[in-house]
Amino acid sequence: MRMASQRGIAAVIVAAGRGTRAGDGPPKQWRDLAGQPVLAHTIDALRTAGIERLLLVIHPDDAARAAALGEVERVAGGATRDASVRNALEALAADPPRHVLIHDGARPLPGTALIGRVRAALEAGAPAAIPALPVGDALWRGAGGRLEAPVARSGLWRAQTPQGFDFAAILAAHRAHPGGAADDAEVARAGGLDVSIVEGDEDNIKLTWPGDLARAERILGARGVDIRTGNGFDVHRFGPGDAVTLCGVAIPHGRGLQGHSDADAGMHALTDAVYGALAEGDIGRHFPPSDPAWKGAESRVFLTHALDLATRRGFALGNCDVTLICEAPRIGPHAEAMRARLAEIMGVEAGRVSVKATTSERLGFAGREEGIAAVATATLVSI
């Protein structure tokens, strides 16, 4: 058991259902919403709220669709919702987090503030916390298209997700539950847990009926453009060689740059900036240097992967800026070629790409000409 994980939080995204009430078409969690699958929005919302460890529960028939979402851990669902959640919790139990959020994949719009309220309740010591909204409309029982009897609405709440729990407690509750629960709050209550209510959000809709997708589109439109910015930094030392490759351009030089791949510090920094804007870690997370498959690889492979991931998440490059830090070789004569090469790789106009250079005034490792450093900034805009 790794204690670092015990101090953290994970999120289970339940997306194994078929969603027959949503009408004809693929399961609702895989339908298009503003240019990308509903689940892509759900994943992005949780990551934006700072949840890095995600476990997606899918139907076996959806494996190919899930692979297109990028690097998200997955587990097969069960015959019912609570069976799917149980599968996910058992998978997490091998390296248990302290807290877990359990969220419906068909709720693509949980706000950061709402998720923060659930997390805050757990951090304050609540064993379980759910977002909910009080019922404001008149309630009636009815049959055959006719009203039969009013239902008192006092004390009634509309439960939402993500629902948050102490991991060990909700795992034990699911293991003891006979099945058939409407949500995880019901499982928690059956297991003897006190469940706290935090303020929900009207925009946190669950896609259930045919018209819900259009409503989600309107909510997204009202939220406006999502702009993300990330930074990257990389260093490579000099070694034997007769050229250096920077931002995809080979420059003759008396020494080369050393690294597991082609040691393109400029492109590495830019790639990390794109990953950073997406909250997707760095190159090492996606292309481990311990993997011999990437020995000597061209860095365009990494940058292309980062931009493809951004596209799948519904973003396009707004602009980027790369600064190379070295005494030699001279970068100025090659800067335009570097801009053109980066623009070509990323599929954008060169006017969105800046490449420039500076020295460190003979200070530090760059000033001693021991290596080259690069810093980069990338801005992504939702599309």
CA distance 372 to 364: 11
Residue 44 CA to residue 51 CA, distance in Å, equals: 10
User: What pLDDT was estimated at residue 330?
Assistant: 94
The per-residue pLDDT for 357 is 96
pLDDT computed for residue 69 by the predictor? 87
Closest CA to 223 of 322, 61, 302, 110: 110
Residues carrying CATH 3.30.1330.50, the chain: 227-382
Q: What pLDDT, on a 0 to 100 scale, did the predictor assign at position 23? A: 62
Contact by Cβ (8 Å): 348, 341? no
Residue 327 has what pLDDT? 94
pLDDT for 260:
84
| Burial tier of 38 (Cβ tally within 10 Å: 0-12, 13-18, 19+) | buried
Give the per-residue pLDDT at 140.
94
Which residue spans of the chain are classified as CATH 3.90.550.10?
A: 3-223
CB-based contacts of 270: which residues, under 8 Å, 6+ apart? 232, 247, 303, 320, 322, 342, 374, 376, 378
Per-residue HEC secondary structure of the chain comes to CCHHHHCCEEEEEEECCCCHHHCCCCCHHHCEECCEEHHHHHHHHHHHCCCCEEEEEECHHHHHHHHCCCCCEEEECCCCHHHHHHHHHHHHCCCCCCEEEEEECCCCCCCHHHHHHHHHHHHCCCCEEEEEEECCCCEEEEECCEEEEEECCCCCEEECCCEEEEHHHHHHHHHHCCCCCCCHHHHHHHCCCCCEEEECCCCCCCCCCCCHHHHHHHHHHHHCCCEEEEEEEEEEEEECCCEEEECCEEEECCCEECCCCCCCHHHHHHHHHHHHHCCCCCHHHHCCCCCHHHCCCCCHHHHHHHHHHHHHCCEEEEEEEEEEECCCCCCHHHHHHHHHHHHHHHCCCHHHEEEEEECCCCCHHHHCCCEEEEEEEEEEEEC
Cα 16–chain centre separation: 19
What does the pLDDT profile of the chain (383 residues) look like in tens digits? 233 334 599 999 999 987 666 566 788 999 999 888 999 999 989 988 889 899 999 999 999 999 888 889 999 999 999 999 999 999 999 999 999 999 999 999 999 999 999 999 999 999 999 999 999 999 999 999 999 999 999 999 999 999 999 999 999 999 999 999 999 999 999 999 999 999 999 999 999 988 999 999 999 888 877 899 999 999 999 999 999 999 999 999 999 999 888 999 999 999 999 999 999 999 999 999 888 888 888 999 999 999 998 888 878 999 999 999 999 999 999 999 999 999 999 999 999 999 999 999 999 999 999 999 999 999 999 87
CA 101 to chain centre: 15
**Is the separation of the CB atoms in 125 and 194 below 8 Å?**
no
Tell me what pLDDT residue 55 has: 97
CA atoms within 13 A on the CB side of 170: 35
Q: What is the CATH number of domain 3-223?
A: 3.90.550.10
Residues 122 and 168: beta-carbon distance below 8 Å: no
| Largest distance between two CA atoms of the chain | 89
Contact 359, 372 (CB under 8 A): no
Residue 315 has a pLDDT of: 87
- Asked whether the beta carbons of 118 and 163 are under 8 A apart, the reply is yes
Cis-peptide into 150, omega within 30 deg = no
Distance in angstroms (rounded) separating the CA atoms of residues 246 and 289: 19
Note the pLDDT of residue 20.
64
* Closest-CA residue to 234 (of 193, 262, 203): 262
Residue with tokens 């790794």: 2
CATH code for the domain defined by 227-382: 3.30.1330.50
